[in-house]
Structure 1
């Protein structure tokens, strides 16, 4: 099936082609026509399944025959769990909407930065992408109104609930009009997400994209046995000898991320850390530089990983293993996207061996194990 068959107009199809989108993902095939028909949506799909474009494209299409906006009255509200994801969604709206006849102003708002510039910037905004806490702050300042909102999107609802936003979400739902279109996306359908969808969705179209659809065959996986004291030098050795230009390195703690970046820089490797302890400005700058290829290595924790979505990322390295096999698959799934091969490397200390065997068993794939003891790491 092509994008032409989904009910999108010619100007939007032209923009889609210019962005090198050729065939719609499974979730886009189902979500786009349903959203265009005004249906509520319950979408269960992992990160990287194409769901953002799945709601962005029909919403932009919906705007094409709408009149001028009411100032500070938000017509489309998208709730996201993290600042990075909110910014990413806003960029997708802006990218696809740039050349459309009916211009739509989109803005992302989030905490961790001054509220005043956001209040000023809300003039004539029709699509607002917001984290729940900052949205409530802006509403309390009467900087905007959502009483006339026509479309609500909850993106990564499970993540929002896991981060403790349940009460904020309820407060927001109370302020929204009852008559609206609601779209809910979640990686999982737990009891909490089930309760929300039953309270806000009306006869939704349920779209479920199985987790197994992630094509791990596109990802070349390998791992090195290494003693803890040789881990840092081995990481630098791999990056330098393989001449890696764009590497996402995962760690488990913010302190580890900062220490790792310091050592990488001392050894001539351009790197930056991205974690919850960094200011929003620092996180945005690091991510933008990494996406554009101006930063060699980005060291990140799992907490902010959902905001990192790069279509052609060549390398992922697990400096430390995550707690669960599902998180491991999520990490390495940052590469091997859009039918483009990628490589994932894990550094395994003796105490990690048993846990890594469990990860491989759950994943259903055996990872090539390499010895690192005969590698000369002096000078790295």
Structure 2
């Protein structure tokens, strides 16, 4: 199936081709026609399934036939749990919208930065991408109106509920017109998500993409048995030995991420941490530099990494194992994209050996574990 067969316009097809996308993903195949037809939608899919384009593309097309927004009444609203995801969605909106006859104005708003610049840029915004708390702040300042919203997108709804946004979301729902199109995307469908669907969606089309537990063949996986105390020196050994120039390292805690970055910098290696305790300016700066290849190592926690989308990322390293097999697959899936090979490396401490066996069993794939006790890490 091609993108053209989904009912998208010629200018959008040209924008898609310019971004080197050749065929739609399963969720895009099902979601795009439903959204274009004005249907409410429940999309159950994991990160990396292509769901952002599944709502951005039809959203951009529908806006082509509408007058540009005026004042502070937005036409389309996207609610997200994190700042990084808000910025990622805005990048996708701008990327696909750049070649359209009618330019679509989009804006991402989130906490952690001054509200005044966001208030100043809101005038004439067609699509507002927002975290719930900052959106309510803007509403209280009379900087934005929701009375004209025609489409509401709830992206990663399960994450928003898990992060405690239920009360804020309910307040926002109360300000939205009842007659609107609502799209809800979630990786899981808990009781809270089911209640959200029942209360906010009308006869939705349901699209379920099975949880991805297999790993693309383009990803070369390797694991190293490393004592916890030797992980830092061994990481620096690998960076030097394999001449890695763009590496995404996953840590399970903010403290570990900061410690790893501190040691890397001390040894003359360009590195930055990406996590919730960093200021928004620092997070933006780190992401921009890393995507541009100007930062060698980015050490991220799982939640903060959700805005990272790099087509040709060559290396991912699990400095610590994630809690679940699906999180492992999501992590290493950051590499091996866009038909380009990638390498995923995992550090396995003795206490993690059993958990890593479970991850391999769920993946249905064995990963070679290489001993490192004979490697001399002195001075690293």
Q: TM-score normalized by structure 2?
A: 0.97
Q: Which residue of 2 aligns with 1:339?
A: 339
Aligned structure 1 segments of 4 or more residues deviating by more than 4 angstroms: none
Q: Which residue of 1 aligns with 2:95?
A: 95
Q: Which residue of 2 aligns with 1:354?
A: 354
Q: Do the aligned residues in 1 keep the contact of 2:213 with 2:329 (CA within 8 Å)?
A: no
Q: Do the aligned residues in 1 keep the contact of 2:106 with 2:125 (CA within 8 Å)?
A: yes
Q: Which residue of 2 aligns with 1:23?
A: 23
SS in 1 for 2:239: helix
Q: Hey, what's the Cα distance between the residues in 2 that align with 1:360 and 1:216?
A: 14
Q: Hey, what's the Cα distance between the residues in 2 that align with 1:57 and 1:214?
A: 27
What's the CA shift for 1:324? 2.1
Q: Hey, what's the Cα distance between the residues in 2 that align with 1:344 and 1:48?
A: 16
What's the CA shift for 1:214? 5.1
Q: 1:296-342, CA deviations, whole angstroms, 9 ceiling, x for partnerless residues?
A: 11001122122222222221111111222222222112222233322
Q: 1:266-302, CA deviations, whole angstroms, 9 ceiling, x for partnerless residues?
A: 2222110001110011011101111111111100112
Q: 1:226-262, CA deviations, whole angstroms, 9 ceiling, x for partnerless residues?
A: 2222211110111111111111101112121111111
Q: Hey, what's the Cα distance between the residues in 2 that align with 1:309 and 1:169?
A: 27
Q: Do the aligned residues in 1 keep the contact of 2:335 with 2:341 (CA within 8 Å)?
A: yes
| 1:160-309 superposed matches below 5 A | 160-212=160-212, 215-309=215-309
Q: Hey, what's the Cα distance between the residues in 1 that align with 2:294 and 2:11?
A: 32
Q: Which residue of 1 aligns with 2:327?
A: 327
Q: Which runs of 5+ in 1 are unaligned?
A: none
Q: 1:23-60, CA deviations, whole angstroms, 9 ceiling, x for partnerless residues?
A: 11111111111111111110001000011011111110
Q: Which runs of 5+ in 2 are unaligned?
A: none
* RMSD across aligned positions (CA): 1.3
Q: TM-score normalized by structure 1?
A: 0.97
Q: Which residue of 1 aligns with 2:48?
A: 48
Q: Hey, what's the Cα distance between the residues in 2 that align with 1:129 and 1:379?
A: 47
Q: Which residue of 2 aligns with 1:2?
A: 2
Distance 1:177 1:214, change over 3 A: farther
SS in 1 for 2:212: helix
SS in 1 for 2:376: coil
Q: Do the aligned residues in 2 keep the contact of 1:218 with 1:336 (CA within 8 Å)?
A: yes
The count of residues paired between Structure 1 and Structure 2 equals 380
Q: Which residue of 2 aligns with 1:375?
A: 375
What's the CA shift for 1:378? 2.1
| 1:50-199 superposed matches below 5 A | 50-199=50-199
